[in-house]
Structure 1
Amino acid sequence: MLKPFGREIWTADGPDVVAMLGFHYPTRTAVIRLSDGDLFIWSPVALTNDLRAAVDALGTVRYLIAPNSLHHVFIADWKRAYPDARTCAAPGLQEKRKDIVFDAVLDSARIADWSEEIEHVLMPNGITSEVVFFHRESGTVIFTDLIQQFPARWFSGWRAIVAKWDLMLGPEPSVPRKFRMAFTNRRAARASLERILEWPAEKVLMAHGTPVTENGQAFIKRAFGWLMA
């Protein structure tokens, strides 16, 4: 259920979710245990009894993170299960999910509660502004949708053609073409990327794709080489 990914960080894969036009996307969450035992839940997936038991065995759920305006489907279920947890959302999600009262909007400002252990940077994008995180203890950078990769036969028919055009089926995770085109403010995007590249990344995790377990900073440079050019 929970798989260790590094020091004080675990992942769990949830069920596939149907998005627009019938595209199926896998789901993944990351659980980070802070030094005080509190848990930081990134992009919550469907909360099953087994997952809840595994999470509770690690510590106290304190933060529920919606890292962009697309990854929010299950956060209300987690809030009901953990009413004392703080919900934190990327810009734009509060307007979309008026049924949830978010405790904080994640811009590029530091969050005192976890800033010594987890840093974050906002990457504005026309599709969805995404908050990218760095967990110092494990050396892990966490993207959500800005970097993706699917198995070659994940999609079929015309969807496979679209996915190939969108650079979602490459040999390693990359930035989909639609997101590249949606970085209309390239200067702001480069500034965010420069901050990300300052992190001593060893690993890279994303919601949809094969995690990178070594040479993380070099991988990020390759993935965003088109933006740096």
Structure 2
Amino acid sequence: MLIEWEADRVWYEDMPYHKFGLTHLQRMIVIKLEDEQLVVISPIELNTQKQLELSNLGTLKAIISPTSTYHQYLSDWWLAYSEAYFYATHALIEKRTDLNFDGVLSNNTPELWQGQLLQTSIVSDDHPNKMIFCDPTSRTLFISDNLVAIQPHLPLGQKITTLIQGSKNEIKLPYLERRKFKNKARLRASIQEIMTWPFDRLLSSNGLVIEKNAKDAFYQAFWWAFQ
């Protein structure tokens, strides 16, 4: 069942899944734009109840896959919402050649949500593989599975994986992910852009929740890039 994060604007739902025998969370985000148009980020398993919930909120206009990690249920959404626009990263489009996507996610915001949501990536190559969004209305930053942390509501398996990745209660970018950033100047520019956005809360596709001071927490996850 969808949980309301911001009144008549943002909802989310968490779904457990198993990876290497450990339980993790995947989170779907629903944002209501102008004219009752809905944008879904990181769609989870689709069922009749979910379709009814969405129809009660508005008209589903776009489905966004901000990372190549979560795509298991895209086929069901594509069949159920053939009139919606599907956007994905370059990496996922290359992986899911069985689906027809309407656009590649980049640092250029599609017209559909231009002026309503902000977007960018924090990768250092020419084809962003993980996108970040901001909703000024709810003052919320939406990230994919970029960062990790141990939080009370997360499954034990995800907490164990987070410990292995070198993080505890503070959100961090895993060390192995850090090594992928060769161009620190470009990374710093991305972080500096995000830090200008109007947000103080955070939701992530891998289940993280920060209800206040999210901008400070986000910066601390990338402090090493400024050394």
Give the TM-score normalised by the residue count of structure 2.
0.89
Same amino acid, percent of matched pairs: 26
User: In the alignment, does 2:208 pair up with 1:210?
Assistant: yes
User: What amino acid sits opposite 1:11 in the alignment?
Assistant: Y
Q: Secondary structure at the match of 2:156?
A: coil
With over 3 angstroms needed to count, the CA separation of the structure-2 counterparts of 1:17 and 1:125, relative to structure 1, is: farther
Q: Secondary structure at the match of 1:92?
A: helix
Give the TM-score normalised by the residue count of structure 1.
0.89
Question: Structure 1 residue runs of 4+, over 3 Å off?
Answer: 21-24, 150-153
1:47 shift after superposition: 0.9
Q: Which residue of 1 aligns with 2:2?
A: 2
State the distance in 2 between where 1:178 and 1:136 align. Answer: 31
State the distance in 2 between where 1:57 and 1:109 align. Answer: 31
Q: Which residue of 2 aligns with 1:12?
A: 13
State the distance in 1 between where 2:98 and 2:195 align. Answer: 36
Q: Which residue of 1 aligns with 2:197?
A: 199
Deviation by residue 1:18-42 (Cα, 9 ceiling, x = unmatched):
33x4443211100000011110000
| Paired residues of 1:89 and 1:105 also in contact (CA < 8 A) | yes
1:184 shift after superposition: 2.5
| Paired residues of 2:150 and 2:169 also in contact (CA < 8 A) | no
1:228 shift after superposition: 2.6
1:63 shift after superposition: 0.4
User: Which structure carries more relative contact order (alpha carbon 8 Å, separation 6+)?
Assistant: 2
User: What amino acid sits opposite 1:143 in the alignment?
Assistant: I
1:17 shift after superposition: 2.4
Q: Which residue of 2 aligns with 1:155?
A: 157
* Structure 1, unpaired ranges of 5+: none
With over 3 angstroms needed to count, the CA separation of the structure-2 counterparts of 1:125 and 1:69, relative to structure 1, is: farther
1:48 shift after superposition: 2.1
| Paired residues of 2:17 and 2:26 also in contact (CA < 8 A) | yes
| Paired residues of 1:148 and 1:209 also in contact (CA < 8 A) | no
1:173 shift after superposition: 2.7
1:223 shift after superposition: 1.8
State the distance in 2 between where 1:134 and 1:60 align. Answer: 21
State the distance in 2 between where 1:214 and 1:74 align. Answer: 31
Deviation by residue 1:159-207 (Cα, 9 ceiling, x = unmatched):
93x6423134x11332222222222222222221111111011211112
Q: Secondary structure at the match of 2:157?
A: coil
How many residues of Structure 1 are paired with residues of Structure 2 in the alignment?
A: 222
Q: Which residue of 2 aligns with 1:165?
A: 164
User: What amino acid sits opposite 1:139 in the alignment?
Assistant: R
For the aligned residue pairs, the C-alpha RMSD in angstroms reads 2.1
